[in-house]
Amino acid sequence: ILVLYYSSYGHIEQMAQAQAEGVARIAGARVTVKRVPELVPADLAKASGFRLDQSPPIAEPEELEKYDGLIFGTPTRFGNMASQMRNFLDRTGALWMRHALVGKVGSVFCSTASQHGGQETTITSFHTTLLHFGMIIVGLPYTFTDLATMREVTGGTPYGASCVTGAGSELRMPSALELDMCRYQGEHVARITSDLVSGRASRG
């Protein structure tokens, strides 16, 4: 499984690591965490407070076909994925041309500043790209019962994990609950991917 993300301020970075922890719960599953390139000039990114010291390596579009499942993470930009992720996906035309991702598992998680800032539209609009690739979309099922919690302000949708970052004096990193939903999603994706891969192997 590849967890591929873009993160400006570290929220999606933390969630990506939690997704990877979830994947690792499935026996035999191997997980790699990578990120897409930054498009903002370094001086502007630094002045804006971007986290420029993230440890996961930069991915190349061609390597996506090497994985059985892909979990994508992006912050929200006006209800859609960030331009950095969009740019990366727009460079995968060669994979699309040869149907390299058909039948692979795809899943998405995201973050927004506000409770109603586009978490669902970001994930479902991302799904459109995955469908064009011919991927099998997996979300975050209600077997993660805290999707329905009322005990705290939290992200979380059946389409995929999410977090609410707040802004200004209310800015926060993902909560323990939001990270738990990421781990659950990662485990769920890995289990389904494992079952699919095992089924293909048994059929020869």
Percent of the chain residues past pLDDT 70, beyond the cut: 100
- For the chain, first and last CA: distance in Å? 21
As a whole number, mean pLDDT of residues 4-24 equals 98
CA distance 188 to 18: 13
Residues 6+ apart with CB under 8 A from 74: 5, 6, 12, 81, 82, 84, 85, 108, 110, 122, 126
- The pLDDT tens digits of the residues spanning 24-74 come to 999 999 999 999 999 999 999 999 999 999 999 999 999 999 999 999 999
**pTM for the structure as a whole:** 0.96
